[in-house]
Amino acid sequence: MSVRSLRHYEDEGLIVPGRFSNGFRDYCQSTIDRVLIIRSLLESGLPVRLIREVLPGLTDGSDDGTDVVCAEFLHEVQGYRDRLAARIAILSDQQAALDAYLREACRTDL
């Protein structure tokens, strides 16, 4: 984990590290665990906005409202996935059109 990433997560309000008396940041185990969750969600392609909204419910350790948070989160993730699938379909169509163009262009060059 890079220092830059940790600072970014802190700037985005995703983590709040403790501080030593000398001002250095203290990343306790719960913050490290939270960072691992954040990285996993980011690597899945989820936007920081969505992670910021749902993260407290995923990492606060209580079960109060967890089902509601999980249901809302899963709904948001499904919507994000559907939008991503639509973008992939458009890009695939564009790629197929370019492939067809290139095949035709190569035939006319001969």
User: pLDDT by residue (tens digit) across 22-47?
Assistant: 999 999 999 999 999 999 989 988 88
Give the pTM: 0.64
What is the residue range of 86's domain? 3-109
What's the total number of domains in the chain? 1
Q: Which helix (H) or strand (E) holds 64?
A: none
CATH number at residue 71: 1.10.1660.10
pLDDT in tens, 50-68: 888 877 766 655 555 556 6
Name the strand (E) or helix (H) holding 86.
Answer: helix 66-109
H helix and E strand count, the chain:
4, 2
